[in-house]
Amino acid sequence: MRKPKARSFDKLKKAFEFNGDNNYCTRLAFCVMTGLSAGKSIAYCKRMVPEWEGKGHGLSLSEMEKFFGSPASHDYDRKQFRTVARELAEQGGRYVIVTASKRAGGHAVAIRDGQIVDFTEQDDRTPVIGVFDGYGLKHEAL
């Protein structure tokens, strides 16, 4: 198995924008978790979530579960993002925290080796609606 690439948020953001994708937070988080490229993440999403209409559409929590191949943990539901991010960062590892964002209906934030790989600030108070553990994902790249 190859070692996952640790691409920065800015580099991944440019790759998704180059591919004409927006509302890509879940696919970007998937890249952070697996080390796959933006293009491979988009292709994998199209294959795993047939109802996803392609570029420009975000994913619901149930669609994220299909994409990641595992159910979201609801152990952190209704806690603030900053609390959950701090707890998971201390544990290390790879996680995707899904928050209930008012502006977009939801947002997926990746944590890799204790670092937030996103534009979201560490002290954000948005409530969490689910967490995916990177070691629980069923993907051949992991």
Which residue segment(s) compose the domain that 72 sits in? 9-136
Determine, yes or no, domain membership for 43: yes
Determine, yes or no, domain membership for 112: yes
Interval 2-23: pLDDT, tens: 566 778 888 888 888 887 777 8
* C-alpha of 106 from chain center: 11
Determine, yes or no, domain membership for 100: yes
Position 36 confidence tier, pLDDT thresholds 50, 70, 90: confident
Determine, yes or no, domain membership for 2: no
Angle value at C-alpha 23, between 70 and 116, nearest 5 degrees: 65
Find the helix or strand (DSSP H, E) in which 41 lies.
helix 38-48
The count of domains in the chain is 1
Q: Are 95 and 132 in contact (CB under 8 A)?
A: yes
**How many CB atoms sit inside 10 A of residue 17's CB?**
12
Q: Looking at the predicted structure, is the pLDDT value of residue 44 above 80?
A: yes
Interval 74-94: pLDDT, tens: 999 999 999 999 999 898 888
d(CA 95, CA 137): 10
Name the pTM for this structure. 0.83
Determine, yes or no, domain membership for 123: yes
Joined together, the tokens standing for residue 115 give 């670092």
Determine, yes or no, domain membership for 69: yes
Return the pLDDT at 142.
45
Determine, yes or no, domain membership for 3: no
